[in-house]
Amino acid sequence: MKQMSILTDVTMCIGCEECVNACKKTNNTGDDKPWRWQRKIDDLSANRWTTIISRPQKHYVRKQCRHCLEPACASVCPVGAMHKTPEGPVVYNSKICMGCRYCMMACPYGIPRYTWAESVPYVRKCIMCYDKIMSGELKEPACVTACPTKATIYGNRDDLLALAHQRIGEKPNLYINKVFGEHEVGGTSVLYVSDVDLDFLGWKKEMDKEPLPLRTWAYLNKVPAVFFGVGALMYGVYWVIDRRMQLQAEAAGETTPPANESTSDTETGKDNPEAKK
Summarised one tens digit per residue, pLDDT across range 43-85 is 899 999 999 999 999 999 999 999 999 999 999 999 999 999 9
pLDDT (0 to 100) of residue 230: 63
Flag whether 275 is in a domain. no
With a cut of 80, say whether residue 114 has pLDDT above it: yes
Task: Provide Rg for the chain, Cα atoms.
Answer: 33
For residues 22 and 147, the answer to whether their CB atoms sit within 8 Å is no
Task: Name the 3-class secondary structure at 32.
Answer: coil
Summarised one tens digit per residue, pLDDT across range 156-195 is 999 999 999 999 999 999 999 999 999 999 999 999 999 9
On whether both 8 and 93 belong to a single domain, the answer is yes
pLDDT (0 to 100) of residue 256: 54
- Numbers of helices and strands, H then E, in the chain: 10, 9
CA dist 70 and 179 (Å) reads 18
Cα 18 to Cα 14, 50, 143, 154, 165, distances in angstroms: 10, 10, 7, 16, 26
With a cut of 80, say whether residue 272 has pLDDT above it: no
On whether both 39 and 66 belong to a single domain, the answer is yes
Give the mean pLDDT of the chain: 84
Please report which helix (H) or strand (E) contains residue 8, including its range.
strand 4-9
Of 154 and 116, the structure prediction assigns the larger pLDDT to 154
pLDDT (0 to 100) of residue 42: 78
On whether both 75 and 129 belong to a single domain, the answer is yes
Confidence of residue 211 (pLDDT cuts 50, 70, 90): low
With a cut of 80, say whether residue 214 has pLDDT above it: no
Of 134 and 217, the structure prediction assigns the larger pLDDT to 134
Domain count, the chain: 2
CA dist 149 and 53 (Å) reads 17
pTM for the whole thing?
0.74
pLDDT (0 to 100) of residue 277: 47
Of 89 and 232, the structure prediction assigns the larger pLDDT to 89
With a cut of 70, say whether residue 220 has pLDDT above it: no
Q: Classify residue 265 by burial, with Cβ atoms within 10 Å: 0-12, 13-18, 19+.
A: exposed
Confidence of residue 24 (pLDDT cuts 50, 70, 90): very high
What average pLDDT score do residues 143-164 get? 97
With a cut of 90, say whether residue 28 has pLDDT above it: yes
Please report which helix (H) or strand (E) contains residue 55, including its range.
strand 51-55
pLDDT (0 to 100) of residue 266: 47
Domain that holds residue 255: 223-268
On whether both 115 and 13 belong to a single domain, the answer is yes
For residues 135 and 7, the answer to whether their CB atoms sit within 8 Å is no
On whether both 135 and 177 belong to a single domain, the answer is yes
On whether both 161 and 253 belong to a single domain, the answer is no
Flag whether 217 is in a domain. no
For residues 185 and 212, the answer to whether their CB atoms sit within 8 Å is yes
Of 251 and 174, the structure prediction assigns the larger pLDDT to 174
Q: Classify residue 167 by burial, with Cβ atoms within 10 Å: 0-12, 13-18, 19+.
A: middle
pLDDT (0 to 100) of residue 263: 47
Strand duo 113-114 + 123-124: pairing: antiparallel
On whether both 72 and 192 belong to a single domain, the answer is yes
Confidence of residue 246 (pLDDT cuts 50, 70, 90): confident
* Selection from 133, 125, 115, 116 nearest residue 90 by Cα: 125
Confidence of residue 36 (pLDDT cuts 50, 70, 90): low
Flag whether 56 is in a domain. yes
Cα 201 off chain centre by: 16
CA dist 81 and 78 (Å) reads 8
Please report which helix (H) or strand (E) contains residue 214, including its range.
helix 212-220
What average pLDDT score do residues 20-42 get? 83
For residues 88 and 191, the answer to whether their CB atoms sit within 8 Å is no
Flag whether 13 is in a domain. yes
Of 129 and 214, the structure prediction assigns the larger pLDDT to 129
Q: What CATH number does residue 140 fall under? A: 3.30.70.20
User: Residue 221: phi, psi to the nearest 5?
Assistant: -65, -25
